[in-house]
Chain A
Amino acid sequence: MANEPNNILQEVTQSEYKYGFVTDIDTEFAPKGLTEDTIRYISAKKQEPEFMLEFRLKAYHRWLEMKQPDWAHLSIPAIDFQNIYYYAAPRKKPELESLEQVDPELLKTFEKLGISLEEQKRLTGVAVDAVIDSVSVKTTFTETLSKLGIIFCSFSDAVKNHPDLVREYMGSVVPSGDNYFAALNSAVFSDGSFAYIPKGVRCPIELSTYFRINAANTGQFERTLIIADEGAYVSYMEGCTAPQRDENQLHAAIVEIVALKDAEVKYSTVQNWYPGNKEGLGGIYNFVTKRGICKGNNSKISWTQVETGSAITWKYPSCILMGDNSVGEFYSVAVTNNHQQADTGSKMIHLGRNSRSTIISKGISAGRSNNSYRGLVKITKRAENARNFSQCDSLLLGDRCGAHTFPYIQAENKSSVVEHEATTSKISDDQLFYCQQRGIDSESAIGLIVNGYAREVLSKLPMEFAVEAQKLLSISLEGSVG
Chain B
Amino acid sequence: MLLQIKDLHAGINGKEILRGVNLEVNAGEVHAIMGPNGTGKSTLASVIAGRELFDVTQGDVVFKGQSILEMPVEQRAREGIFLGFQYPVEIPGVSITNFMRTALNEIRKYRGLEPLSGAAFLARMEEKKKLVEIQTKLTNRSVNEGFSGGEKKKNEIFQMAMIEPTLSILDETDSGLDIDALRIVANGVNALRSADNAIVVITHYQRLLEYIVPDIVHVLYEGRIVKTGGKELALELEEKGYEWIKKEMEGR
Q: Assess the A451–B72 pair: CB atoms within 8 A.
A: no
Instruction: Say if the beta carbon of B78 comes within 8 Å of chain A.
Output: yes
Min Cβ gap B72→A in Å is 7
In Å, the complex CA distance between A453 and B92 comes to: 6
Give A459's nearest chain B residue, CB to CB.
Answer: B93
In Å, the complex CA distance between A245 and B85 comes to: 48
> B98-106, B112-120, B188-196: which lies at the A interface?
B98-106
In Å, the complex CA distance between A456 and B98 comes to: 15
Across the interface, which residues of A come within 8 angstroms of B103, CB to CB? 435, 438-440
Do A437 and B53 form a contact, CB below 8 Å, given A448-B94, A449-B94, A451-B94? no
> A127-135, A191-199, A424-432: which lies at the B interface?
A424-432
Instruction: Say if the beta carbon of B159 comes within 8 Å of chain A.
Output: yes
Do A436 and B91 form a contact, CB below 8 Å, given A1-B52, A448-B102? no
Across the interface, which residues of A come within 8 angstroms of B49, CB to CB? 437
Across the interface, which residues of B come within 8 angstroms of A431, CB to CB? 89-91
Instruction: Say if the beta carbon of B55 comes within 8 Å of chain A.
Output: yes
Query: Binary interface profile of B, 135-178, with partner A (CB < 8 Å = 1, else 0)?
Result: 00000001000000000000000010001000000000000000
Q: Assess the B110–A439 pair: CB atoms within 8 A.
A: yes
Across the interface, which residues of A come within 8 angstroms of B92, CB to CB? 452-453
Q: Assess the A439–B77 pair: CB atoms within 8 A.
A: yes
Query: Binary interface profile of A, 395-431, with partner B (CB < 8 Å = 1, else 0)?
Result: 0000000000000000000000000000000001111
Give B144's nearest chain A residue, CB to CB.
Answer: A434
Min Cβ gap B166→A in Å is 13
With most chain B CB atoms within 10 A of its CB, the pick from A441, A442, A456 is A441
Min Cβ gap B157→A in Å is 14
In Å, the complex CA distance between A434 and B49 comes to: 10
Q: Assess the B53–A438 pair: CB atoms within 8 A.
A: no
Q: Assess the A428–B74 pair: CB atoms within 8 A.
A: no
Across the interface, which residues of A come within 8 angstroms of B74, CB to CB? 436-437, 439-442
Instruction: Say if the beta carbon of A444 comes within 8 Å of chain B.
Output: yes
Residues of A within 8 A of B (CB): 1, 4, 428-431, 433-442, 444, 448-449, 451-456
10 nearest A-B pairs in the assembled complex, by CB-CB distance: A452-B93, A452-B94, A436-B73, A455-B93, A438-B103, A439-B77, A439-B107, A436-B74, A430-B89, A439-B106
A-B contact pairs, 19 of them (CB 8 A): A434-B91, A437-B49, A437-B73, A438-B77, A438-B99, A438-B163, A439-B74, A439-B78, A439-B103, A439-B106, A440-B103, A441-B106, A444-B106, A448-B99, A449-B94, A452-B93, A453-B93, A455-B93, A456-B93
